[in-house]
Structure 1
């Protein structure tokens, strides 16, 4: 009930007004059973727009901090993220990655749709970056298909650093399911998992039309932040001349 309320009453009218979303290839998403929706990631709004146009509920992993903030604001935030189909993932500690993987596999084995961003973070510049192999491991452990999804235009609605959404038409392309059953029983093979991930990223590149970069987006962001910190603040502008001196 909370999911329906968030999707169709709270978010729906606003997103439809701002984004006028359209979708093609919806027939590639199965009516039942577990599957991974592997999407490029351009903006925060991606996780809200895709569930709006897909009839089935989509579960997205989200930072546990979204669910643990104290006070009234924290409770409202928790209700909101729960309502839009997100589940908390604790990314701290040595076992966090395994716990996150177990949660994702459980969701898939329950016959649900899981939304994943293989890049691991938002693109810093609109290009498509190297995928992380966790998606391949989830696929093999849960024995489900991967459905590539391209979000187009969401970076114009919600540019990085912006606090307000901007009106812009968004289009979503859903590709044909990728079947990796040929690799059944090969969980943990790094070569196989990298090969699967690269195949998923190639499908996303074809769907989205983005330029592919063979680097992790997180590494690019870290380098940019380091360079900015080393450069320091820009020099102060020289003072204006005092007109009273003449």
Structure 2
């Protein structure tokens, strides 16, 4: 991969939570390769575990050999989502850094979209455990912009990875801690991610779309064994 990095000289000591825009699958390899420290990459459990064809089996092997991942199941119900978030929180408590893609899917178009709040939940949960990670936006930009979003091998492209200034989420965490209603907690969770995604848009000179990507509903989920099971039977 032809990667040019920007802003990495002043990266604070971890643990860090890196949040990045999600242009295509190659992001999960390009960003960790650019960072001067190791990080656990939070990815879809479907991406991490699927091996039902030769291509997906090879892809799984590449991911397992190249990355340390934390699979997150977002379609299987609250208990599965909670388990993934807890694994990520414990990684921070153990002093490891995380890479998270709050958009939750590839953007496809050359833009940055509103992120989801999983990263905030992990951050706030780590703070309860006595660890206060840095929240660091990371912008990734491809020239030309990707058209084969699922390709995981190097392509004929220039990749720019930019580390932005840390996001100060202390006020949001304090507001979350004292919130007594759902709407106040939702706003507190939203604030750090909104600031981070806007910072990424500015750093990459990409337009910011103030709405989340609509996730396709899934009728199945993939277990670590590679077995695909109906969600309705969980």
With structure 1 as the length reference, what TM-score do the two structures score?
Answer: 0.71
Q: Which runs of 5+ in 2 are unaligned?
A: 127-131, 180-184, 218-234
Does residue 160 in structure 1 map to residue 149 in structure 2?
yes
| Superposition RMSD in Å | 2.8
The one-character-per-residue Cα deviations of 1:188-219 (angstroms, maximum 9, x if unpaired) are: 71121122221112211211111111211126
Verify: 1:120 aligned to 2:104, yes or no.
Answer: yes
Is residue 22 of structure 1 aligned with residue 4 of structure 2? yes
Q: 1:167 to 1:37 in 2, by over 3 A?
A: same
Unmatched tracts of structure 1, length 5 or more: 1-14, 223-246
Match of 2:33 in 1: 52
Q: Report the Cα distance in structure 2 between the residues aligned to 1:42 and 1:180, rounded to whole angstroms.
A: 25
The aligned residue for residue 81 of structure 1 is 63
Query: Does structure 1 residue 218 correspond to structure 2 residue 214?
Result: yes
Residue correspondence of structure 1 range 81-160 to structure 2 within 5 A = 81-83=63-65, 84-91=67-74, 92-142=76-126, 143-153=132-142, 156-157=145-146, 159-160=148-149
When residues 169 and 74 of structure 1 are mapped into structure 2, their CA distance, relative to the original with a 3 A threshold, is closer
Provide the C-alpha distance between the structure 1 equivalents of 2:44 and 2:198, rounded to a whole number of angstroms.
27
Matches within 5 A, 1:206-245: 206-218=202-214
Deviation track 1:144-194 (CA, whole Å, cap 9, x = no partner) reads: 221011101166355336687531111111111112223445257112112
Offset, 1:73: 7.8
Contact 2:26 2:153 in 1 (8 A): no
Whether the aligned pair in 2 keeps the contact of 1:44 and 1:158 (CA below 8 Å) is no
Q: Distance in 1 between matches of 2:53 and 2:149?
A: 28
Residues 53 and 197 (structure 1), Cα distance of their counterparts in 2 relative to 1, 3 Å cut: closer
Structure-to-structure mapping, 1:183-222, within 5 angstroms = 183-185=172-174, 186-187=176-177, 189-218=185-214
1:42–1:34 Cα change, 3 Å? same
Mark the CA change 1:162 to 1:37 in structure 2 (over 3 Å): closer, same or farther: closer
- Structure 1 distance, partners of 2:53, 2:160, is 37
Cα 1:152/1:57, change in 2 over 3 Å: same
Structure 1: how far apart are the matches of 2:111 and 2:55? 35
Pick 1 or 2: higher relative contact order, CA cutoff 8 A, min separation 6: 2
Describe the shift of the 1:68–1:162 C-alpha distance in structure 2 as closer, same or farther (beyond 3 A). closer
Change (3 A) 1:161 1:90: closer
